[in-house]
Structure 1
Amino acid sequence: MTTRTEGTDSGVRPGAARGIVVTGGGTGIGRATARAFAARGDRVLVVGRTATTLDATAEGHPGIRTLVADVTEPDAPDRIVETALGVLGRIDVLVNNAAAMGYRPLAALDRTEAERQLHTNLLAPVLLTRAALDPLAERSGTVVNIGSAGALGLRSWPDNGLYGAAKAGLDFLTRTWAVELAPRGIRVVGVAPGVTDVSAGPGPDADDPAYRDFLKGIAARTPSGRVGRPEEMAWWIVQLTRPEAEYANGTVVAVDGGLSLT
């Protein structure tokens, strides 16, 4: 686990900038979220497994610090919290964004894959949030759990059931923690993104015909007529942590162009 502290201070008055932790911050929604917080003057620690992608997230954003870590490691929760307090001085917002997906039916699911998905998508947020409770309580902080619009309501998700089950479980934890932690001044909310085009960063290539066809198919089924962008998801995540949103607690906001309603 490596801490990288490139960049200089953001120029915000000492004590004025919030401390934000974003897991899975090297790509996609996590990257866009870290940059959106930094753009408003917050100081951000992005956590991920790959130094190069984290560095790309931080490039040009002096308010962002990076930590190379696997959220499933036994010591990860304490190390992430300790690092955040060391480089940010506080934790106002924790964004549980890191995720692991793997399409395969139940008959082809082995123990290793099941443990990988459940640990990353469900157990890691549980343990990290628990580790961050005291710093969050000191700041009347907010936890944002990133779920999935595909796991809302009574919909099924063939060949991706374990991922969907973990995300549905995270939504349940959002509602439960909102009640449990309210006496400590901590809010817990969720964002459930729909299919989001992350081809601008590492991962599926923008020129990959299969990926483009997938996005085109989803867009055709979506009432809004298109798929989402990482920056749109980041906007909602940031807004839910603003003081004006403090009466929202335990809610999970679907941002999917209406697809989960069809």
Structure 2
Amino acid sequence: MSSSTPLHFSDRVAIVTGAGSGIGQATAIALAASGAHVLGVGRRQEALEETARAHSNIAVLSSDVCEEGAADKIVSTAVERWGRLDLLVNNAGIAALMPLAETDRAVITNLFELNVTAPSLLAHAALPHLRDSSGSIVNVSSTYGHRPLAGGAHYAATKSALEQLTRSWALELAPEGVRVNAIAPGPTATDVLTAAGLPEDTVTQIRAGERERIPTGRLGAPKDIADWIVRIADPQGTYVTGQILTIDGGLELS
């Protein structure tokens, strides 16, 4: 980042979940480069350490956001270290391709635990501090939060739920000066499909099909999404709340 770039997050504090790779890692780095003190949260310590090495403003905490008490632990770690909290980025999530004919209760439960319940508990824990700082929450949804996904209905449903939480929290918290927005990435070059347990040849086939349907002709890069998270969370953007911003290379138009 050049010295002429405004450091809009200077002396501000952000929590980013799922910071060990992909969009979360790129977001932690982008926020740190914009002046923020960042607590990067994830389950894999080695991956988190790689994120931390990218910028001196990043500290990390190995934690499963679904565990009992995790939300309070994560928020208190950031506040005790830096004395405040200005931004929560709810990025951690999982995908699952599960046709209705193969419905599995455990898969549904896991999807909602990580994609809906954990962000809710983190937002709850962060709220008193965000009220104090007139801060904001950015939820990471998906283009499939507002368009159907054959064979992945339950994943899409969790992201649709996250978008409705975003709108409802924004309306609820606006009088208190807390903004809530969401970024909805289209197909992005991350390990989310591999993490969902799909074999590499299937992932390659899916990615090729997605690339063909995207008008700009390429998958998103994590930095494409991270840059917009930073923009929508900018403390100077006080008139933007309750928005779902889709970053998908024009996929929604096709």
Report the TM-score, using the length of structure 2 for normalisation: 0.90
Post-superposition Cα deviations, 1:141-197, rounded to whole Å, max 9, x if no partner, equal 010010001222xx3212211111010011011111111011111000010000001
Cα distance between partner residues in 2 of 1:244 and 1:82: 25
1:37 and 2:31 matched: yes
1:74 and 2:73 matched: no
Post-superposition Cα deviations, 1:42-89, rounded to whole Å, max 9, x if no partner, equal 110011111011111111311101111111111011111111111232
Residue of 169, 175, 184 corresponding to 1:177: 169
The question of whether the paired residues in 2 share the 8 Å contact of 1:150 and 1:260 is answered with no
Amino acid at match of 2:211: A
1:10 alignment counterpart: none
The question of whether the paired residues in 2 share the 8 Å contact of 1:38 and 1:63 is answered with yes
Q: What's the CA shift for 1:114? A: 1.2
Post-superposition Cα deviations, 1:94-147, rounded to whole Å, max 9, x if no partner, equal 000010112111232222211111010001111110111100011000100100
1:8 alignment counterpart: none
2:236 alignment counterpart: 244
The question of whether the paired residues in 2 share the 8 Å contact of 1:42 and 1:63 is answered with yes
Q: What's the CA shift for 1:245? A: 2.0
1:232 and 2:224 matched: yes
1:143 and 2:148 matched: no
Cα distance between partner residues in 2 of 1:18 and 1:211: 38
2:45 alignment counterpart: 51
1:88 and 2:88 matched: no
Amino acid at match of 2:212: A
SS at match of 1:243: coil
The question of whether the paired residues in 2 share the 8 Å contact of 1:147 and 1:191 is answered with yes
1:259 alignment counterpart: 251
Post-superposition Cα deviations, 1:217-260, rounded to whole Å, max 9, x if no partner, equal 21111111111000010000000111332211100000001112
- Richer in helix (by share): 2
Amino acid at match of 2:82: L
Q: Please, which runs of 5 or more residues in structure 2 have no aligned partner? A: 1-6
% identical equivalent positions: 42
Residue of 192, 215, 225 corresponding to 1:223: 215
Count of aligned pairs between the two proteins? 242
Cα distance between partner residues in 2 of 1:118 and 1:185: 28
Report the TM-score, using the length of structure 1 for normalisation: 0.88
Q: Please, which runs of 5 or more residues in structure 1 have no aligned partner? A: 1-12
1:24 alignment counterpart: 18
Q: What's the CA shift for 1:215? A: 2.2
Within 5 Å, give how 1:100-119 maps onto structure 2.
100-119=94-113
Cα distance between partner residues in 1 of 2:59 and 2:83: 12
Cα distance between partner residues in 1 of 2:54 and 2:23: 18
1:130 alignment counterpart: 124
2:4 alignment counterpart: none
Computed over aligned residues only, the root mean square deviation of the Cα atoms, in angstroms, reads 1.9
The question of whether the paired residues in 1 share the 8 Å contact of 2:211 and 2:218 is answered with yes
Cα distance between partner residues in 1 of 2:211 and 2:143: 14
